[in-house]
Chains A and B, each alone.
Chain A
Amino acid sequence: MVKVIIYPTNSLILSDLVERFGHTPLAMMEKIKEKISTVGVDSPPLNITPEEPKMGLKYAAVEVPAGVRGRMAIVGPMIDEAEAGIIVNESPMAFGCMGCARTNELTKFLIRDRDIPVLEVDYPEDEDEAREFVYKIAEFLGSLSKDEKEGQE
């Protein structure tokens, strides 16, 4: 079982596909759960403490807005922990709902920059693209399992 970071980091489809094909998705939801169930971080609607932008300094320079650093305090450790990655480009939801385009750019850059297997696919717009999307992800996740078995042997 390989820890796979997904981008968009809160994607239902990617999280489900990674788990379906036998790996562990590293997704934003679990990290948010850890954060909100920590005693002391319970002042709605804030989930971020002043500590987060400081932790984010590991991933982004001090001139970078605190919002990016705060987000990177959650996303950065996920990237460090990852053993593989799946990036979906041209995802319409990554604009807006995921908050911050600069954080997204930095997240993709840091995933690509790590020496781990990374699959990049485009968000599907029709049936044929959806099939290609699923097949590529399935084959990529299957190859991770093979690599893992070979590594153990």
Chain B
Amino acid sequence: MPQNDDDIITKLVVISSDSVLPIDAAMKVYESETSIVIKETCFGTMVTGPREAVNRVVEELVDLDRNHIFVKERGFPPGDERRCRASRGGGPRPGFHYLREEVRTLPMIGRALDDYDKKVPLKEVAHKKKLDVKKLAEIIESA
């Protein structure tokens, strides 16, 4: 591993695919023979290492199922004491709830990306409107 900490990055690879499992992604990283560290998680993998190597490996991972694998950078490396549950006495790590909420939306986003690639025309969407104050007053008065 290089000595310069600036070059070390961590990326979260979140897999929301029907055809790719986290283990497939992990195997792909092992095959790449690059000096990086990976951690398998329930949502995908975390990849840590020199920026160039991580970007290359992540690109390969995303190519497994382009529209259903999502990536973001992570501030803390895996196992960092400030985030790792092992040293914090259990419970979800900070940021987990946020990620879980987004992971629930990913299948929809993936299908939307598929449609965008296929150039499926956009349908007019009727947005829910907030309740008008006058309408609310009418409801209260009618009760």
Contacts and interface: CB of A to CB of B under 8 A. Distances in A.
Interface of A: 10-13, 15-16, 19-20, 27-33, 35-37, 44-45, 47, 92-93, 96-98, 122, 124-135, 138
Q: Is the interface of A mostly helix, strand, loop or mixed?
A: helix
A131 B115 contact: yes
Interface stretch (B6-14, B17-25, B32-40, B132-140): B6-14
Interface of B: 5-6, 8-10, 12, 14, 70-76, 80-82, 95, 97-99, 101-103, 105-106, 108-109, 111-113, 115-116, 120, 122-123, 125, 127-128
Contacts of B70: 12-13, 16
B53 to A, nearest CB: 16
Given A19-B71, A131-B125, 7 more contacts: A29-B72, A30-B73, A31-B75, A32-B76, A33-B74, A126-B108, A128-B125
Contacts, number: 105
Contacts of A128: 123, 125
Contacts of B111: 127, 130-131
Contacts of B108: 124, 126-127, 130
Instruction: Indicate the member of A13, A31, A132 with the most B CB atoms within 10 Å.
Output: A13
